[in-house]
Amino acid sequence: MFYIELKERHHEILEIVKREGPITSEQIASLLNITRSAIRSDLNLLTMSGMLEAKPKVGYMYVGSMERQKIADYLNAIRVGDLKSRPVAILETTSVYDAVVLMFLEDVGSIFITNEEHYLSGIISRKDLLKAAIGGGDIHQMPVGIIMTRMPNVVTVAPSEPVVEAARKIMEHEIDALPVVDEIFRNGQVFYRIVGRFSKTNITKLFVEIGNKLGGDWFE
Amino acid sequence: MFYIELKERHHEILEIVKREGPITSEQIASLLNITRSAIRSDLNLLTMSGMLEAKPKVGYMYVGSMERQKIADYLNAIRVGDLKSRPVAILETTSVYDAVVLMFLEDVGSIFITNEEHYLSGIISRKDLLKAAIGGGDIHQMPVGIIMTRMPNVVTVAPSEPVVEAARKIMEHEIDALPVVDEIFRNGQVFYRIVGRFSKTNITKLFVEIGNKLGGDWFE
């Protein structure tokens, strides 16, 4: 890398590319109200210095945004199926009390609920259980099926979806965990087979692994 | 970029640098049982092709690992203070029932507990509240001070710490949220003033923002 002193016009070009990139040299020239040939040497210099990158058929990009684009691409390549945890599921007829005990034993924030054919029928969170526990009813007699969030209101994720998409669903719907499901089509109906659990904990763990400088190969 | 056909020795060198990098040319030569001058042209070629990068005084690095290093550096530069949420705190004397109600109202997973001087004295989680709720005691009369996790067993984080470090604490101690605190020294004792809340939710949100290709400037 060599040292160059930036002139006023270099700063103007950098600002434009930062804001509008990817952008062609024609578009930059037009925004500056000058001819394309007048900025050719400036663009060459900014590209040589590493501040801009010229992508064929795309245009000029600010290198800072490209690095962030690479990070985004990296994250978007990691799939839910690479990270998912073992699911914890019970039948709709299980009592709320037994669900609480299981939640403590397994130390999970959400339990998935299935019908008798073992397809996903609902989900129950710590919040749901807490609400039932202070509600005054007999939680030994009350089945979880009464207080669970029921399909189709359960937000699910497929193993092939990027973890970024799963994280977006978690934030958007303000939930802690997603059932990871395969869709089964039978007699024109869709059923969901539970194949995993994906939660904020999985994302936090991934975050630590990516941020760990001593780490080795991550997900290769 | 130009096209080069890799010879057997190029593959050997790449494997070594991938596994052992950063590594000097002397060390590579020694692992291959040949002289340093014998691999000089191979190293030049691999560097020119962009597969290896030579860092002065450090050695050769595999470019794949450098990209990951850059991502790790990027994440490690984001501080807890940049992301923290508003804390929710109550006095030790508050009843468990009122804590449950507050948890629902504020929709948080953990509530911080303070002494009368408003310094951090404990923390209470949904799990703690659920345990108390099914325990059979009178949660209207029971103060949270009895069932909370008490200092110094509460794991805290400073605003200046990297979010990666906060995520590591969350995973290591298997907790949902950390109080973000300033340390106050008085009469040779340390007190913790609560300035925020940092949880798996903050990390999940950050993850979405970094992964969002349409996103703009992130944290600049």
Chain A: closest CA distance from residue B166 (Å): 9
Q: Over range B91-118, report the average pLDDT.
A: 95
pLDDT band at B52; cut points 50, 70, 90 = confident
β-pairing verdict for B189-199 and B177-186: antiparallel
Do A170 and B97 lie within an 8 Å CB cutoff?
no
Helix (H) or strand (E) run with residue B54 in it: strand B52-55
The residue in chain A having the minimum alpha-carbon distance to the alpha carbon of residue B217 is A65
Q: Is B206 helix (H, G, I), strand (E, B) or coil?
A: helix
Alpha-carbon gap, residue B202 to A208, rounded angstroms: 14
Chain A: closest CA distance from residue B189 (Å): 32
Chain A: closest CA distance from residue B28 (Å): 19
User: Which chain A residues contact residue B170 at CB under 8 A?
Assistant: 204
Chain B: closest CA distance from residue A154 (Å): 19
pLDDT per residue as tens digits for the range A77-120: 899 999 999 999 999 999 999 999 999 999 999 999 999 999 99
Nearby residues of B187 by Cβ (< 8 Å), 6 or more positions away: none
Chain B: closest CA distance from residue A206 (Å): 9
User: Which chain A residues contact residue B171 at CB under 8 A?
Assistant: 201, 204-205, 208
Asked if A139 is an interface residue toward chain B (Cβ–Cβ < 8 A), one would say: yes
Residue located via tokens 């000097």: B24
Alpha-carbon gap, residue B189 to B178, rounded angstroms: 21
The residue in chain B having the minimum alpha-carbon distance to the alpha carbon of residue A98 is B134
Domains of chain A, start order: 8-76 (1.10.10.10), 80-211 (3.10.580.10)
Q: What is the ipTM of this complex?
A: 0.77
| pLDDT of the residue at A70 | 78
Q: Over range B97-119, report the average pLDDT.
A: 95
Do B174 and A212 lie within an 8 Å CB cutoff?
no
Q: Over range B109-124, report the average pLDDT.
A: 96
Neighbours of A136 (CB within 10 A): 7
Positions in chain A whose pLDDT score sits under 70: 1-5, 213-220
pLDDT band at B16; cut points 50, 70, 90 = very high
Asked if A107 is an interface residue toward chain B (Cβ–Cβ < 8 A), one would say: yes
Query: Which one of A207, A217, A219 makes the best mutation probe of the B interface by having the most chain B beta carbons within 10 Å?
Result: A207
User: Which chain A residues contact residue B211 at CB under 8 A?
Assistant: 72, 75-76, 162-164, 167-168
| pLDDT of the residue at B135 | 87
| pLDDT of the residue at A46 | 84
Do A208 and B70 lie within an 8 Å CB cutoff?
no
| pLDDT of the residue at B159 | 96
The residue in chain B having the minimum alpha-carbon distance to the alpha carbon of residue A96 is B134
**What are the structure tokens assigned to A154, written together?**
């359960």
User: Which chain A residues contact residue B174 at CB under 8 A?
Assistant: 107
Mean pLDDT of chain B: 89
Do B126 and A130 lie within an 8 Å CB cutoff?
yes
Residue B36 clears pLDDT 70, i.e. is over it: yes
